Structure 1
Amino acid sequence: MVSTLIALAAVSSYINYRYIRLPTTIGVMLVALVASLALILAGPYASGLREQAATQVAHIDFDQVVLHGMLAFLLFAGSIHVKLDELSREWPAISLLAIVGTLSSTFIVGGAAWAVLGWLDLPIPLLHALLFGALISPTDPIAVLGLMKSAGAPRQLEVQMAGESLFNDGLGVVIFMVLLQLAGLDGTHGAAAPLSFDIGTVGMLLLKEVGGAVVLAMGAGIVTYQMLKRVDNYQVEVLLTLALAMGLYALADALHLSAPIAVVVAGLFVGNRGRAFAMSEKTREHVDTFWELVDEILNVVLFLLIGLELLVLPIERGWLVAGALSIVIVLSARWLSVAAIIGPLRGVTAQAKGAIAVLTWGGLRGGISVAMALSLPANDSRSLILTLTYFVVVFSILVQGLTVGWVIRMAGRSRAAVKPAPGLAGAVDIRSKSSGTQRGNLTKGVPNDHTTQ
């Protein structure tokens, strides 16, 4: 099945590059969606074709592939290129967006979805609605960062988007798992007894998962750093970073700590201190190239899988209105969460013009949301939650991902006559052959040689 997915990803990438010319991940997902729709429509005329394709897709454990496979590599590939000095300058906004923004969005989306679904005569329990809020709140702006760069987004917004996405993925998974236990739906350990909704108990659980992950990551990062210092062979050093990403994720998962946060922290440590003091220039070049390639390949496969999931999605006609309204709910919650954070911060630190609009529209949802939805154990709400998630993710990637450049340009017009705030770098116009390379350039802090403002 892996061979089939790689082959399909390669063919889809070729079709997109030759004929569609969209950003790679978005174009691949569009090709997969069109192919899935074609199979569905051809079902009555091609006996067994759709069923065979759907059976193959159903055999893919999306939750296992993404949350316990790809996520370790994607998060490490993103964090190893992020500069800590840039994160530190934007730390108030990043931490508030990743923590307060994700929590507030979870409850806003969950409460609104619970009310709207009840109004549509599709009632689900409140805790199940909050699960939908938790899995759909983490942003996944991987596919849009290259577009933000080419559209001339301020460096400040790029750093905020990258930092938020790295940390809210991990926090979103933690919130989701806590809510699963509160609802008695802990799929990892079978039918678990529901936890009592006690703030102290929930707080300690969050502290254990997040705090423990940070401590474990620092320990693993320091050990890897010391090993990197003692060798000068890029093959060995690339292998050490690969072992750190895979081994740390598996260990944190086994200890019931937040594996995504552990990988992000370790990636930041090795990507900054390790790159500066434990790697030669040749090693840095090979490490960067390796992780950019891993990032690009896995993202293409991930977005291909999202498109193919349409073949097995249990959509009912009566759920279409609920799916459309869920898009409005998620966007509104995102805007409220961002505005409540960026607005007050403007009185303390300089913020880019149009930051609220760009951060709202650029906050894409992706494969992690779909994976968490698919990981839900069987219950009366699962199929509906999965459908709502798919609606939001597809709209997010195809519509928001392809129009965020326009939003950035509109925000840019409003700041054209405004002197840049102190400490903000001018926008850089860097165009590369792939979104993965753009992302690598973005997070490595490419010098500002070509300002667009």
Structure 2
Amino acid sequence: MTESVPALVTYAVLGWMALNIIFYISERWMVFTDIIWILMAGLAYGWLSSFSALELPPLVMDPKVVLYVFVPLLIFASTKKMCLFHFRPIIVPALLAGTLGIIISMTVIGTAVHWLLNVPLLPALLFGVIISATDPLAVSALFKGDESISENQKLLIEGESILNDGFVVTVAGILALLIFTSTSFSWLDTSVSLVTHIVGALVTGVVLGRGARAILRFMHSSYYILTTNITLALAYGSFVIAESFHFSGILAVFAAALAYGYKPDEDRANREAEEKVWEYLDYAANALLFFLLGTSFVVLTQGTAFSVWMVVLALSLLFLGRFTALFLLKPFMKIDGAALSTMEFWLLNFSGARGAVSVALILLLPSSFEYQPLFLASAFVMILFSLIVYPLITAKLLKQGG
């Protein structure tokens, strides 16, 4: 154990140096965000680690670490920048896209996988819902500092992404229960369970978020170390408490961050210091997660045959699932009473990058599950394409819209 500590420190130092190089490359060649460059660096490391002569240790992300360590931090960091008052105008379209949109996407993808790949319907629907989860981490990185997109548009895209992640985890849990246990399907029981998971998560988050605010008022202090400690405890505490009651941890974190509130404190210096701490935590966690996503690709898909047919099908479903959902919901999605413009419709389509949550959910399925390798390989094709190609399309849309 003690021998591994110097090696761990060495890797950390090399990692920090690499981050600076990648940040420099990203600033010079503004084709991708630095997070996407980090993903490609992870892919390169994963490929190099496959050569035994180099003796590089294979790095594979642990699904429970992703869900319990990375997700609460990153969801809270994204949500705490939002103001509940400003979030109100887009809450209806965000809820529609993040719930009914997921159901439609799940049905389109699941039905295609069922008929074209001869996968039983429930497992096919499970894959459909898992891969419908968009990545709020990648979405947030896309629009950071971009002034060509309005605040409402940005809130809709980021808010919908966080909401659909929470909804996806909840629905995936219910489907997994039906597939891997002897539980029989009942529309009534399933609907009640779904509503309970969502409402319970939102109530838990709101209570804890307002409780954190009350503690700060009681202590009469806004010192940034204190507020950072409280917000970190709130992020992880809301997730763990919600999960312990079998509610959606992601939705609980989202509700806790909104309930805590993005309010300007009188002590502006401490507020700005806290924001800087959270900004760095957000960046460091994002960087490590995307690097691990890249390194995991080679290790987890070794021995998997990527046929042209499978790649074409995966990419077709990647687009069709979200496109169909947004096309059907477009008449009901309005921002401040105005219908979505054509540019906003396509922006929502191509800002729907997939990410680590989908991989984590597939890895959490029983290792004996016969369709896990197929789901994992298909998911990686979809994720890598959406993370590398979608940002280029999104940037072009924003440029045209500007």
1:13–1:351 CA distance, 2 compared to 1 (3 A): same
Match of 1:355 among 337, 341, 344: 344
Superposed, 1:5-20 pairs within 5 Å as: 6-7=12-13, 9-19=15-25
1:83 paired to 2:83: yes
Q: Is the 8 A contact 2:72 2:239 kept in 1?
A: yes
Provide the rounded CA distance (Å) in 2 between the counterparts of 1:346 and 1:259. Answer: 28
Match of 1:142 among 137, 140, 160: 137
Q: Is the 8 A contact 1:110 1:133 kept in 2?
A: yes
Provide the rounded CA distance (Å) in 1 between the counterparts of 2:136 and 2:207. Answer: 29
1:53 paired to 2:68: no
1:213 paired to 2:213: no
- Matching residue of 1:375: 364
Deviations 1:76-133 (A, max 9, x none): 1111110112211112211111111112111211111222223xxxxx2221111111
- Matching residue of 2:174: 178
1:111–1:253 CA distance, 2 compared to 1 (3 A): same
Q: Is the 8 A contact 1:106 1:137 kept in 2?
A: yes
1:85–1:373 CA distance, 2 compared to 1 (3 A): same
**Identity rate of aligned residues, in percent?**
26
1:212–1:340 CA distance, 2 compared to 1 (3 A): same
1:312 paired to 2:274: no
* Matched pairs, number: 386
Provide the rounded CA distance (Å) in 2 between the counterparts of 1:5 and 1:91. Answer: 43
- Matching residue of 2:254: 264
- Matching residue of 1:93: 93
The letter of the residue matching 2:175 is L
1:131 paired to 2:126: yes
Provide the rounded CA distance (Å) in 2 between the counterparts of 1:23 and 1:156. Answer: 22
The letter of the residue matching 1:296 is Y
The letter of the residue matching 2:290 is F
| TM-score w.r.t. length of structure 1 | 0.79
SS of match in other structure, 1:317: coil
1:279–1:111 CA distance, 2 compared to 1 (3 A): farther
Provide the rounded CA distance (Å) in 1 between the counterparts of 2:14 and 2:163. Answer: 31
The letter of the residue matching 1:253 is E
Superposed, 1:7-406 pairs within 5 Å as: 7=13, 9-19=15-25, 21=29, 22-40=32-50, 43=51, 46-47=52-53, 49=54, 53-54=57-58, 57-58=59-60, 60-61=61-62, 63-118=63-118, 124-148=119-143, 150=146, 152-184=148-180, 193-230=181-218, 231-232=220-221, 233-272=223-262, 275-276=263-264, 280-314=267-301, 315-317=303-305, 319-345=307-333, 349-378=338-367, 379-406=369-396
The letter of the residue matching 1:326 is A
1:375–1:323 CA distance, 2 compared to 1 (3 A): farther
1:91–1:313 CA distance, 2 compared to 1 (3 A): same
Q: Is the 8 A contact 1:6 1:301 kept in 2?
A: no
CA drift at 1:53: 2.4
Provide the rounded CA distance (Å) in 2 between the counterparts of 1:3 and 1:34. Answer: 21
5+ residue gaps, structure 2? none
Provide the rounded CA distance (Å) in 1 between the counterparts of 2:291 and 2:94. Answer: 30
Q: Is the 8 A contact 1:9 1:28 kept in 2?
A: no
Provide the rounded CA distance (Å) in 2 between the counterparts of 1:9 and 1:374. Answer: 26
SS of match in other structure, 1:183: helix
CA drift at 1:7: 4.4
Deviations 1:30-55 (A, max 9, x none): 11112322343xx3xx54x46x523x
Q: Is the 8 A contact 2:138 2:355 kept in 1?
A: no
1:165–1:346 CA distance, 2 compared to 1 (3 A): closer
Q: Is the 8 A contact 1:238 1:286 kept in 2?
A: no
Q: Is the 8 A contact 1:228 1:279 kept in 2?
A: no
| TM-score w.r.t. length of structure 2 | 0.89
Deviations 1:261-296 (A, max 9, x none): 111101011123xx35x6632332122212211111
Q: Is the 8 A contact 2:139 2:158 kept in 1?
A: no
